[in-house]
Structure 1
Amino acid sequence: MYRRDFLGGAMAASLLAFGGAGRALAAGPAPTRLLPPALRPGDMVGLVSPSSATDDSLKLQLAAEVMQALGFRVRAGEHYAARRGHLAGTDAERAGDINRMFADPEVKAVVCVRGGAGAARLLPLLDYGLIRRNPKVLLGYSDITALHCAIQARTGLVTFHGPIGAGSWNSFVVDQFRRLFLQRELLEYRNPVPDEDELVQRGNRTMAIHGGRARGPLLGGNLSVLVGLAGSPYLPAFDGAILFLEDVEEAPYRVDRMLTTLKLAGVLDRIAGFIFGQCTDCDPGAGHGSLSIEQVLDDHIRPLGIPAYRGALIGHLREQFIVPVGGMVEMDADAGTFRLLEPVLR
């Protein structure tokens, strides 16, 4: 995965920045929560590529067609189809596209075409004052976690961890998108029961790590990208938060190492609840004698004694939740659900 190319160096620098166990990952109080306007049919949606280049122009076309099929007009970023190595243009070009979308009064939402790697490189180049003055929907996941974290930390704007423009826009995702962004529904996030020929449900199961309910702002995203921001000013304050995490193609020993980093930095001791989505293709493989993901979560999360569960439809999935980063939620670990307590759009 491209994310791993920068994670090692970022992790080393971050650990030096900690200066010892229990130090906070981000300094300063959380900014006031800022809500983007709700969307309406006919609004202009901007498409940007903050991370990796898209290797097939059809994917760019599909991203535009999806937005049009949802009833929106589309404006593509100047460099969204560019390429510089594995990146979709230079850092200045990609950051400039994002800044221009937030500055453009016609654009009401910014949708990331894809993830991959490279979004963290843009964080010093984003105009956070501009973003704060022009709040609007930002949608994407995986490497886009870097943008969600930084914008939340620096502006308080609620952004949305969910499908990328070039990803699957199946009926599950489209229905959720419309209910959330157009109808402003206070959603409950509950895994649907799959249509399967089984006496008891097997697919889409959730499992409580520690039972109970908790309330707080929902923060998190892709685990490896989030940990790569440790020690920087671009990670939000996690005090009293519900932390959600997901990842893809990470061996369990790497997940263990990253959760250990969050533990040593004091993050896990400050959260009120924990939701683990999917770690897609994270099996240890035959003959490695590795801990399983379940054992890693039991080691790090269960001793916290806070409400926690795993199996939510968050992550690298065809059917995935659209999660408001910074939105106020209540989670129920026993039921394997969480719900919005307040509007996340105005």
Structure 2
Amino acid sequence: MNRREFITNAAAAGLLLPLAGGLGGHAFAASRSRLLPVPLRKGDTVALVSPSSATDERINLQLPREVMEALGFKVKTGAHYGSRYGHLAGTDAERAGDINTAFADPEVRAVIALRGGSGAARLLPLLDYEAIRANPKALLGYSDITALHCAIHAQTGLVTFHGPNGTGSWNRFNADQFRRVFFERELVEYRNLVEAGDELVARRNRTLTITGGRARGELVGGNLAVLSALAGSPYLPDFRGRILFLEDVSEAPYRVDRMLTTLKLMGALDGIAGFIFGECTDCDPGGGYGSLTLDQIFDDHIRPLGVPAYRGAMIGHIRQQFIVPVGGRVEMDADAGSFRLLEPVFQAG
């Protein structure tokens, strides 16, 4: 079964669950109280794990270690960090075991995903959520790691962090984001870096308001394709009263439309407080009779909700990206195209 067949089947299962609960039911995990991870300092030990696809070059196992050391950490790697099982970085039991071990290890203060790809959703029934709840630590990664963010937040309430994977670009912007969020524990304002360059008017990193206004709530979300594939499972957080952020890569607009339709039909968009879309990288329509534009898709699915919404945030498969706390409480301003943390996302100390 390929990725898109899996998403289609999962979405179909998600449509049935609200019906089982009667009209107005919602296919979400029960909400849990928010749980903050322990703070990080230079000199701490972090674990590098590989929950998704295997790497194709040994250098991609070495570089993330060097990045973490350059940030000031000691590094442990999972026992199956460099393993391969088909396209995956080891069997499901091996990959889940490395995550469970990292959370249970008293020396480890944070867990960093090596890369995305696919396969993280296969691990969700194998994770030790009680151990994760008892040992709250920051988890960092994006793309396929959305499955872990959603499941861990749904099952434990733990705040995790959507941001660069170990093999991603650790350019100056991303490294600065990491220091501000993790070391300085700043109440960050997430506002796009907009520079005109030699253009009369800036073109890159522009935001576009869908519906104006301000909203407050906890952030939930991540990669749209991965998140929508959790429809009908106990690993999808409740979106009601929250600000939903999404991004994607290499998805034709008709597939973005289909995935948002899935969320709409299962009730996931009902009651959200606000909406932020990052980048949809390489999401151009193909040939043929034409396509809905992304603007039209957001007008159809998001604008009728009547909640503050904007697109273009620096979230997603881009070189410079925000580190976004999943579960962090924020205020968004859809007219300004920004959001800011209202409360700390780490334990005191």
Instruction: Name the TM-score, length of structure 2 as normaliser.
Output: 0.96
Structure 1 residue identity aligned to 2:336: A
SS across alignment from 1:19: helix
Partner residue in 2 for 1:170: 171
Which segment is superposed worse, 105-114 or 16-25? 16-25
Any gaps of 5 or more consecutive residues in structure 1?
none
Structure 1 residue identity aligned to 2:45: M
Structure 2 residue identity aligned to 1:107: V
Instruction: Name the TM-score, length of structure 1 as normaliser.
Output: 0.97
Structure 2 residue identity aligned to 1:172: F
Partner residue in 2 for 1:143: 144
SS across alignment from 1:278: strand
Does the aligned pair in 1 maintain the 2:29–2:235 contact within 8 Å? no
Partner residue in 1 for 2:39: 38
Any gaps of 5 or more consecutive residues in structure 2?
none
Distance change >3 Å, CA 288–CA 43, structure 1 → 2: farther
Partner residue in 2 for 1:24: 26
CA distances 1:239-292 after superposition (whole Å, capped 9, x unpaired): 100000000111111111111111111111210000000010001034441001
Does the aligned pair in 2 maintain the 1:79–1:94 contact within 8 Å? yes
Does the aligned pair in 1 maintain the 2:17–2:26 contact within 8 Å? no
Distance change >3 Å, CA 204–CA 237, structure 1 → 2: same
Structure 2 residue identity aligned to 1:24: H
Distance change >3 Å, CA 268–CA 102, structure 1 → 2: same
The aligned length equals 344
Partner residue in 1 for 2:291: 290
Q: How many angstroms apart in 2 are the aligned matches of 1:103 and 1:77?
A: 12
Partner residue in 2 for 1:107: 108
Structure 2 residue identity aligned to 1:114: R
User: What aligned pairs does 1:66-145 form with structure 2 within 5 A after superposition?
Assistant: 66-145=67-146
Does the aligned pair in 1 maintain the 2:153–2:159 contact within 8 Å? yes
Partner residue in 1 for 2:335: 334
Partner residue in 2 for 1:248: 249
In the alignment, structure 1 residue 314 sits paired with structure 2 residue 315: yes
User: What aligned pairs does 1:219-230 form with structure 2 within 5 A after superposition?
Assistant: 219-230=220-231
RMSD of equivalent CA atoms: 1.3
Structure 1 residue identity aligned to 2:235: Y
Q: How many angstroms apart in 2 are the aligned matches of 1:288 and 1:142?
A: 30
Partner residue in 1 for 2:56: 55
Quote the sequence identity (%).
72
Does the aligned pair in 2 maintain the 1:22–1:264 contact within 8 Å? no
In the alignment, structure 1 residue 234 sits paired with structure 2 residue 199: no
Does the aligned pair in 1 maintain the 2:15–2:265 contact within 8 Å? no
Structure 2 residue identity aligned to 1:50: P
Does the aligned pair in 1 maintain the 2:210–2:311 contact within 8 Å? yes
Structure 1 residue identity aligned to 2:28: A
